[in-house]
Structure 1
Amino acid sequence: MDDIFSLEERASQQYGLPIPNVSYWDSSKAFQKEMAKAFVPPEPSLPWNYYYTYSISPENRQQVLRDLGVPETQLQTTMGLLLQSSTIAIVNMINFLVHHNRKRLCILQPAYFSVALCCSMFSLDYGVEQISFSDGRPQIPVDKILSSGYDCVWITSPVFCTGFYFDEEHKRNIAQIKSKGITIIFDESLALPGKELIRSFPIDPEVFAIYSPHKAISINGLKFAIIVCEKCYEDFLEQWIDVFSGALGGSNRDAVFHYLSPNYLNCCYPTYKRYVETAKAEVNSIVDQFPFATMLSHTEGHYVNIFTDLDVQGRSSILNLLNRTIRVSLASFIPSELNGFSPEQGFSFRVNLTGDIVELKGAIGRILQYFSTLR
């Protein structure tokens, strides 16, 4: 990543122009301006005391679980461990797997990069299995997962950096994996309201889920994360918080109450959705002009992936392509290989739809125009 940013900086200094990165994780001022009109913050926390999960009333914690899709009949046996971020949730989740004698984790790629790094740090054996996109529709490699000695599997929903949510056939695939006694961890940090998989897979001793509702709508400064699991694991998870993450910040507590307020679902989410859908329509109109480039259909959310038929593999080749692209198109991107996509499925890159819409259209058009000269 540092190499990419260095290429952008050198080009920016040489040409005296900013180099927009269409994949960058921060939202644009244009998006923030629209969201600021909708966002009403909760009453801020006082700065004096520590806040932990149990600092939030049981009633409010149960309401968070309800809003995430936990049915009323399961509330008494389900817990939500409140944390500062999804990254901290991943650390705690991998630690849990190690201490509960899971031996080999399948990371279904694409997935967030820190999952594999945490496995290495905690000495948890893991393997990587790839979702394939060859027919324009994600395919889960069920047979490979079931035949490779895994006892737990990490599933990211929506499919990382694509905005694609698993359909009924995919859910049957996941149910088949679970039926073999394999523990399921859903990383749904970017799942939008109503799209949570725990609405289809009830929490039990072998089902865990991670959420970060504000991250899902690109509010990253005021947010919290939560691990949803069976209440029988409460003591273990609460004890390890002091080791890995400590107390919640005041902004994490405030984010919980904002999520519970009508402002999150009735104001912020619709504003987010309108902006992202407008941006996606504009990006689609550009991609449609280049037959060698495609995007998955039926996606939601602010990350999408543009697939191409270019064959560019390996660090050196990718950096060479990036360097040439930046200097010709005056625009940049993060290659999807860094997000866990297999290079064998064609070169691709991520687009953040909370970018400035006019800038996104121009930058993506210039990038794809340059790619067209390489074919």
Structure 2
Amino acid sequence: MYFSAGDLLNFEELTLVSGKKGLYRKISCPFVWARKTFDNYMEAEELIFITGAGIEVSEERLNKLVEEGIKLNISGIVFMAGEGFIEKIYESTKALSEKHNFPIFSMSHKTKLVSLTKKIMNAVSMRLNEDIFNKIHLGKILFDENKILNSQMSTIYQLPFKSNSFILIMNKKKGSKIKIEETSIIKVITKKVPIEDFNLINYRHLNEYIYMFSSNDKNVLKLIKKIMVEYFNKFKNDFSMGIGRIIDTDEDNIQESYKDAKNIINFNNNNYTKSKFYDFEDLKSFRLILEIKDPIVINEYFEETIGRLFNNKNKNSEDLIKTLWEYLINNGNKRETSESLYIHRNTLNYRLEQIEEILKKNIDDSLVRYELFSALIIGIITGKIDS
């Protein structure tokens, strides 16, 4: 994960004054500033140090600098406090910082500014290198069969994997122009979860955007899952998403969580699953299906239970499949089923009769319904039912 304003809390020379909810902001470099305005000088993500030299330090001027920093997406401001420097950080300045989640720190005028900025720059560079290595290592865990080498790498390097983890996969849909940055994801999460309570590593593989979240608290990961589902539901037309189970962090388990997420993507990417993303945990009893490793067993169950409906040469086979799905998720309620399909009740009855005739099953039997629904879930997860 990138070096953020939250990492500055580890520097004893700095004190957070306000803007705690903005600690997710990414820091690219420290910069000492001695002009009246930031205009046309900043590129974004700089951490600005202001000593008071060369600028007016009135309440109006400090507020103006904070407003400019917010507008230019600066990571935060550090004011040098002391007589002859920034003698006061005004309440209105703090309020502005809090309102826009913009971190303001203070430091003593006795601190050696050159040493501190150099230390921060070194930390930013080290984190950048660590982030690159972490991405590579995550890729090796997921896609490299050399487990001995991966284990040795984990031993040699202190990777930021906390005790529990899960994998989230995003696939960008064709034609989508939406771009979601890591900073956007962390910003959403840190509204409810302190940035120090979790870690995030991302990796790009073909069309997959892979995110590994880790924390020492499983409840934190459960909350992050919920946040991610709610957030990415806004982009369902632009992305497919799958979230794996929460696991105890080691190479084998990380791969399992990744496989879970891959399976759930097929489920979430299907028209039958309507308008929301589902998490691995949401499938509850159907998680047993995902635990079956033998594809032959899965395929046999699918074919024996519902294969006739898919192999049927009738032109309305697709309509029958959709009808069966809606009938089952509506618990056999014909009124709700006909309304969701926008068809007449008589049309529904006719289709249900056709389904029973083809499958040779009584779909009003509760056990039969469970078997059929399980088979449909298998079809969606394995891609046999095309969206």
Whether TM-score is above 0.5 comes out as no
TM-score (normalizing by structure 1): 0.27
| Structure richer in helix, relative to its length | 2
TM-score, scaled relative to structure 2: 0.26
- Structure with higher RCO (Cα < 8 A, 6+ apart): 1
